[in-house]
Amino acid sequence: MKQTKLVIVESPTKAKTIGKFLGEGFHVESSYGHIRDLPKSKIGIDIEHDFEPHYIIPMKAKKNVTALKKLAVKADEVILATDEDREGEAIAWHLTQALELGGFQIKSSKSQVKKDIPVERIVFHEITESAIQDALKHPRALNLHLVDAQQARRVLDRLVGYELSPFLWKKIVRGLSAGRVQSVALRLIVEREEEIKRFKPEEYWTIRVILSPENTKENVFEASLFKIGGEPFEKFTIRNKADATAIAEKLKNATYSVIAIEEKEMKRNPLPPFITSTLQQEANRRLHMSAKQTMMLAQRLYENGFITYMRTDSVNLSTESLHIAQKYIGEKFGKNYLLEAPRVFKTKSRLAQEAHEAIRPTNPLLDPVSITLEDAKEKKLYDLIWRRFMASQLPPAIFALTSVLVEARNGDDTFTLKANGATMRFDGFLRVWNQTFEERLLPALKKGEALRFSEVKPEQHFTEPPARYNEASLIKTLEANGIGRPSTYAPIISVIQSRNYVQKNPERRFEPTEIGLLVNKVLTEHFPEIVDLGFTAHMEEELDEVAEGKRRWRDTIREFYEPFKKHLEKKYESVQKEALAPQESTDEVCERCGKPMAIKTGRFGRFLACTGFPECKSTKSLAPTGSNDLGPCPKCGTGRVIRRRTKRGRFFYGCNRYPECDFASWTKPENKDGEDGDGDGDADEDKSGDKEE
């Protein structure tokens, strides 16, 4: 009798890919993500009994669980092949519970007879035939420390959300919610906005002089003021036009000569291959993709076997991938581009053993030209991942740098100017990694050579305020402060937008909304530990210790919750309700009852509401302004398309003349006024596979 082994993974795409590599006797099925979770209707945690979580099987998962049970009864062995991180380990553990494999026994609903079933856990970092076969040869036990770390984060976030959100309802407006890590991200954005408002620009001037060799007007070059007398010229040395003009006049009538020439070689090394955070940052900078969209596309590439696992903080690379990269480089680019030995990078994260490799192509020989992908965005992301990996194994780029010091003398006044030249001698890793390099050529000069003056250019400048965060810089800051982990960056950014606490401006940078400012004000004033960067990073470290088996997860929860609960009870009594912006009168008349309408503020911002409330509950969207104006309505032609939300907080695009015009779309319509959208994909349905809240 033939044996049947049931392999369970998270997604149907992953199941399909793995199924291609397994022969007869294997049956691959998907759990469709988590099959158990805390209930949505209540807190689901028994605080009195050591924070015991009460998991349920959601209605949408019940049919699949029943089907998996039936398959497990018929199988001779169950193999859990979920991802090797905390979320994947937790999914595998929940499968043992939901399928009654806890004691490695399962009950058939028909026979009511328990059957002993061997259960194995396998892990891999890429979905290739060799990786799957190797994993089957080396099964391991469930890592319950990783499961505990995932449970701790889930319980901690549930307690904060379910205890703190009602406080915000009472003190600000109903429908708000608070998250442990998301509130820290909101604080960063608000504090940056406050910095920008406090910023006062300062004036400063620079001076450049256009010169050439004495006997020709050709080969002109530019030198910048470097010293005045013997004093270094610094940023704020010249603060006004009068001083700049006085120096420029002296430079017009000066004599110029070369006093020093320095030539040196500079090497620029490639960056490490991608980890989750750097992939999200670079995809945002180069491809204008949001973290959420990046992870959705990376998930598809991983599940279809094109890249290694995309939630990782390790920069390690397998020996096999390094050998293949060297083979490709030698054949495509020649011996000059081969390293003496593969370049190895050191992982900074203390817990990087959760994912042993960086994000790389599973087959480096499959370059972006050779790969066949129907989705253009997937192909662009694969191209980015492939190039970053291949660049990491190419030699440094080599540049020739020339520095020329020029003396300008006008009577007793002397000035030193500096000209810099740069040329590329060897492109190295830049052969595949596109990076801007501005070549600056200087003419052949000799020390003591006299120079011809052509023009002096004084330029006025003003200091700039700190830039608002975009997705790339926010992720970089969160990572630098130890806030969040690879699986959390995309959900953090997605949540603060869906809650309408922040919005993107036309430059794709975050600005806090009125409601976001209020929420941050309440949290920073009354719950400073919740939004403290150091405290949140410390909690992440404790969760890491749970994952390492050095700490009990219930102790971590208790040490946080007990003082938090007492503090919350005091704040309910002492904190006054925050006033939203007062309603503003308008000339608009309610179409239902004829009463005047006023501008009010709610959890999703400002809107028009009938003053006859609660008898009349008529509301309307305000006319769009700024970045929310997406052009004329394609249906009625007179209204404007704006980004709106469903009652559940999902974005869609609709006409601001609703209900007169009922145009609505999940996808952003083309802007007929000529502006492009931000390309962040936030309105798309979340299929990224981000399993952690």
Question: How confident is the model over 144-186, as pLDDT tens digits?
Answer: 999 999 999 999 999 999 999 999 989 888 888 888 899 999 9
pTM of the model: 0.82
* Predicted confidence band of residue 665 (pLDDT cuts 50, 70, 90): confident
Tokens of 112: 């009511």
Q: What angle do CA 202, 206, 209 make, to 5 degrees?
A: 170
Pairing status of strand 596-602 against strand 584-589: antiparallel
Q: What is the pLDDT of residue 628?
A: 61
Q: What is the pLDDT of residue 222?
A: 96
Helix (H), strand (E) counts: the chain: 16, 24
Q: What is the pLDDT of residue 353?
A: 46
pLDDT of 285 over the 50 cut? yes
Q: What is the mean pLDDT of residues 445-452?
A: 95
Q: What is the mean pLDDT of residues 346-370?
A: 79
Neighbouring C-beta atoms of residue 486, cutoff 10 Å: 26
Q: What is the pLDDT of residue 367?
A: 93
pLDDT of 578 over the 80 cut? no
User: CA-to-CA distance for 520 and 192, rounded, in angstroms?
Assistant: 13
Name the residue among 558, 669, 687, 569 with its Cα closest to residue 299. Answer: 687
* Predicted confidence band of residue 354 (pLDDT cuts 50, 70, 90): very low
Q: What is the pLDDT of residue 94?
A: 95
User: CA-to-CA distance for 546 and 148, rounded, in angstroms?
Assistant: 7
Q: What is the pLDDT of residue 580?
A: 67
pLDDT of 69 over the 50 cut? yes
Q: DSSP string covering 290-341, please?
A: -HHHHHHHHHHHHHTTSB--SS-------HHHHHHHHHHHHHHH-GGG--SS
pLDDT of 102 over the 50 cut? yes
* Three-state SS at 213: strand
Asked if 456 and 267 touch (Cβ cutoff 8 Å), the reply is: no
The catalytic residue among 256, 309, 489, 501 is: 309
Could you tell me which residue, 229 or 106, shows the higher pLDDT? 229
Q: What is the pLDDT of residue 349?
A: 61
* Predicted confidence band of residue 599 (pLDDT cuts 50, 70, 90): confident
303: left (phi over 0), alpha (psi -120 to 50) or beta: alpha
Q: What is the mean pLDDT of residues 282-310?
A: 95
Q: What is the mean pLDDT of residues 516-528?
A: 93
658 in active site: no
Q: Give start and end residues of each alpha helix (H) in 481-513.
A: 489-498
* Three-state SS at 4: coil
Q: What is the mean pLDDT of residues 455-474?
A: 96
Q: What is the mean pLDDT of residues 656-678?
A: 64
Phi, psi of 627 (to 5 degrees): -70, -15
Q: How far is CA 302 from the centre of its chain?
A: 18
Q: What is the pLDDT of residue 107?
A: 42
User: CA-to-CA distance for 297 and 687, rounded, in angstroms?
Assistant: 9
Q: What is the pLDDT of residue 677?
A: 33
599: left (phi over 0), alpha (psi -120 to 50) or beta: beta
* Three-state SS at 436: coil
Could you tell me which residue, 631 or 399, shows the higher pLDDT? 399
Q: What is the pLDDT of residue 101?
A: 82
Kindly state the DSSP code that residue 461 receives in the 8-state scheme: E
- Give percent above pLDDT 90 in the chain: 68
pLDDT digit string, tens, across residues 203-213: 999 999 999 99
Element (H, E) at 441: none
Q: What is the mean pLDDT of residues 472-481?
A: 94
pLDDT of 597 over the 80 cut? yes
List of domains in the chain: 5-142 (3.40.50.140), 150-199+468-574 (1.10.460.10), 203-269+405-433+447-462 (2.70.20.10), 276-294+302-391 (1.10.290.10), 584-665 (no CATH)
On average, the pLDDT of the chain sits at: 88
* Predicted confidence band of residue 682 (pLDDT cuts 50, 70, 90): very low
Q: What is the pLDDT of residue 625?
A: 53
Element (H, E) at 247: helix 241-252
Q: DSSP string covering 345-380, please?
A: -----TTGGGS-S-B-BSSTTS-TTT---S-HHHHH
